[in-house]
Amino acid sequence: MDGIGAENGSVQVKAGARAGRRVLAGTAVVPGAGYGPALRPGERPRRPARGTDLPAVDRPAEKQRFLAAAEAVAARLLARADSVRGAGADVLRATAGLATDRGWLGAAGTLIDAGAPADSATADATDRFAAVFTELGGVMAERVTDLEDIRDRVIAELHGMPEPGVPTPSVPSVLVARDLAPADTAVLDPTLVVAIATTLGGPTGHTSIIARQLGIPCVVGVSGLGDIASGAPVLVDGSAGSVEVDPDPGRARSAVAHSADVRRRTASWVGPGRTRDGHPVAVLANVQDGPGARAAADGSAAEGVGLFRTELAFLDRDTEPPVEEQAQIYREVFDAFPDGKVVVRTLDAGSDKPMRFAPTGEEANPALGVRGYRIAAGHPGLLERQLDAIAAASRTSSSEVLVMAPMIATLAEAAEFAAAARARDLVPGVMVEVPAAALLADRILEHVDFLSIGTNDLTQYTMAADRMSAPLAGLTDPWQPAVLALVARTAADGARVGKSVGVCGEAAADPLLACVLVGLGVTSLSMAASAVAATGSALASVDLAQCRRAADAALAAADPSAARQKATEILR
């Protein structure tokens, strides 16, 4: 598959071919290759010494000086927000908001009142807030970088130093940093910053969000970046998640050209989903509400919805929405695809998605507890009312509506769900997320009309590794041969009886893996709308026979990295 090769590391050199060459690994965030001299952000101000001995008479003026510095920093960020668009502007405004946060300003002010100089108070107040944010975890923990960026800017302002951050390079460069402040990434020029590599940060952090929006190839969580000298040639592969220092220049340039080619083809892909030799594979979108479905319909070539995560539409509700209100929400999604199919998943509450109106109680292991279909037993009527609402919405819509239940583990669950759906003239299917369901797929298919493999959970439960765990990321990789073996078995069971078996987990959004899944026999792929074109155009560049060969090789591989490499060789 020309196209996927470079995107996934056509970077293949003989080890030791160049003296300074080394390859560092990280988390792939934005696909594509970027090559250029390393660009390092400017120095951040040193942490000021802690002080408490400011004479009482000077303290009011010192507080004013601190407030003026914070205000100047906020004003500069807001002015910059006005000069960029989209998520970049939002990030800059949110960061500016921290500089005017009453709690943070108050904490620093109190320290100054107690005798701390403004710079020391700024650092200490930030530490306190950073500790609280870290404790809260999740999105709040990711804001620690923003807060520390504000700290550095305010301290620089207090000392009359230039604002810390990313300098504007004179030639296209690769930005290499420990972490990047959102305020810096938001204003990056993609013609001058051709790739990003950071030591910290995760796929959902600010650097990743902005890099994705700007289309800058990006790898985060890379260790060893500290040793890369400013100006050293670096090749970043945003699909393979690799950072290569001092690569062979010819090969690096061809990787970049190849990546540009893939981008062009992706941008011009309009569907429908099929391989180069015409084997049809429905390429669908994952959505959570009406606006998301309309955005997918207008902004992508998705042929329909392969996963409507209904629970996400109700996470903020204290009480169960009445049937008619639910129907209205479902109708909005159906109406976005009047000629396509929409697969509605019934509530997948519990575990990482607790719902106030369907509580599951305290559990030692929520991921192994009452979640998904299992909540139905403890909440009589909840599933039936949801199915009533889906059926009502479907009766007034032209789209092809199907329903599926999450977290099915037994034949009895599948049979019970199928009966409830059929009683309402709905086409039933179930998700294959638990290994038990994959192992019994042939018998489950005696009850339902289709299967949809949730590779996120199937990987978590097959590998016994929490999908949210960063240290276990190597295990929670859908390229694990054990996971692929369960997908193969499920798809084969579907093919034997002529019923469709789709994939709606993140695996479908990996263009290389998507081709392997098709080779394993998967009949549809559903993913975030933003990934539709990359997956669709990758499929269009390969034949079914190639996909099958890649699938066999991936199944036979010893580990995910060998599987990826084999598949790349076959599909390139």
> Six-digit token pair at 276?
């180069």
Q: Which residues contact 421 (CB under 8 A, 6 or more apart)?
A: 387, 403, 427, 428
> Residue 124 interacts with ligand PEP (CB under 6 A)?
no
Q: Given the complex with ligand PEP, which of 48 and 505 has the nearer CB atom?
A: 505
Residue 402 in 3-state DSSP? Answer: strand
Q: How far apart are CA 475 and CA 482, in angstroms?
A: 10
Among the listed ranges 75-83, 379-387, 395-403, 454-462, the one in contact with ligand PEP (CB under 6 A) is 454-462
Given 348, 416, 493, 510, the residue binding ligand PEP (CB under 6 A): 348
> Residue 185 interacts with ligand PEP (CB under 6 A)?
no
Q: Given the complex with ligand PEP, which of 185 and 462 has the nearer CB atom?
A: 462
Smallest separation (angstroms) from ligand PEP to the CB of 314: 14
Q: Say if residue 153 is exposed, middle or buried (CB neighbours under 10 Å; 0-12, 13-18, 19+).
A: buried
Ramachandran class of 40: left when φ > 0, alpha when ψ lies in -120 to 50, beta otherwise: beta
Given 142, 157, 335, 433, the residue binding ligand PEP (CB under 6 A): 433
Q: Given the complex with ligand PEP, which of 209 and 404 has the nearer CB atom?
A: 404
Q: Which H or E run includes 428?
A: strand 427-432
> Six-digit token pair at 405?
């239940």
Smallest separation (angstroms) from Mg ion to the CB of 484: 18
**Residue 305: strand pairing partners:** 285, 342
Which candidate in 218, 504, 515, 547 is catalytic?
A: 504
Q: How far apart are CA 211 and CA 439, in angstroms?
A: 40
Smallest separation (angstroms) from ligand PEP to the CB of 372: 8
Residue in the shown chain whose Cβ atom is closest to Mg ion? 457
Q: How far apart are CA 546 and CA 370, in angstroms?
A: 41
Which of Mg ion, ligand PEP, none has residue 455 at its interface (CB below 5 to 8 Å by kind)?
ligand PEP
Q: Given the complex with ligand PEP, which of 97 and 354 has the nearer CB atom?
A: 354
Smallest separation (angstroms) from ligand PEP to the CB of 243: 29
Which of Mg ion, ligand PEP, none has residue 208 at its interface (CB below 5 to 8 Å by kind)?
none
Q: How far apart are CA 403 and CA 422, in angstroms?
A: 10
Q: Given the complex with ligand PEP, which of 73 and 404 has the nearer CB atom?
A: 404
Which of ligand PEP, Mg ion, none has residue 199 at its interface (CB below 5 to 8 Å by kind)?
none
> Residue 309 interacts with ligand PEP (CB under 6 A)?
yes
> Residue 288 interacts with ligand PEP (CB under 6 A)?
no
Residues binding Mg ion (CB under 5 A) = 433, 454, 457
State the CB neighbour count (10 A cutoff) for residue 141.
15
> Residue 44 interacts with ligand PEP (CB under 6 A)?
no
Among the listed ranges 139-147, 181-189, 437-445, 449-457, the one in contact with ligand PEP (CB under 6 A) is 449-457
> Six-digit token pair at 66?
């601190």
Q: Given the complex with ligand PEP, which of 504 and 563 has the nearer CB atom?
A: 504
Among the listed ranges 131-139, 176-184, 254-262, 450-458, the one in contact with ligand PEP (CB under 6 A) is 450-458
Smallest separation (angstroms) from ligand PEP to the CB of 528: 11
Q: Which residues contact 456 (CB under 8 A, 6 or more apart)?
A: 433, 467, 478, 505, 506, 507
279 is catalytic: no
Tell which residue, 552, 541, 9, 520, has the closest CA to residue 275.
Answer: 541
Q: Which residues contact 200 (CB under 8 A, 6 or more apart)?
A: 145, 178, 179, 220, 221
Among the listed ranges 22-30, 146-154, 319-327, 455-463, the one in contact with ligand PEP (CB under 6 A) is 455-463
State the CB neighbour count (10 A cutoff) for residue 364.
6
> Residue 457 interacts with ligand PEP (CB under 6 A)?
yes
Smallest separation (angstroms) from Mg ion to the CB of 433: 5
Q: Given the complex with ligand PEP, which of 504 and 525 has the nearer CB atom?
A: 504
Smallest separation (angstroms) from ligand PEP to the CB of 395: 27
Which candidate in 206, 258, 379, 447 is catalytic?
A: 206
Among the listed ranges 195-203, 395-403, 451-459, 482-490, the one in contact with ligand PEP (CB under 6 A) is 451-459
Q: Given the complex with ligand PEP, which of 98 and 287 has the nearer CB atom?
A: 287
Cα dist. 492→411, 425, 435, 445, 500 in Å?
Answer: 18, 27, 15, 12, 10
Cα dist. 26→220, 223, 233 in Å?
Answer: 6, 7, 18
Q: Given the complex with Mg ion, which of 133 and 308 has the nearer CB atom?
A: 308
Given 505, 519, 536, 560, the residue binding ligand PEP (CB under 6 A): 505
206 is catalytic: yes
Tell which residue, 460, 331, 441, has the closest CA to residue 397.
Answer: 331
> Residue 502 interacts with ligand PEP (CB under 6 A)?
no
Contact present, 334 and 401 (Cβ < 8 Å) = yes
**Residue 38: strand pairing partners:** 174
Smallest separation (angstroms) from ligand PEP to the CB of 67: 45
State the CB neighbour count (10 A cutoff) for residue 498.
7
Q: How far apart are CA 74 and CA 93, in angstroms?
A: 8
Smallest separation (angstroms) from Mg ion to the CB of 374: 13
Residues known to be catalytic: 206, 504
Residues within the interface to ligand PEP (CB under 6 A): 307, 309, 348, 433, 454-457, 504-505
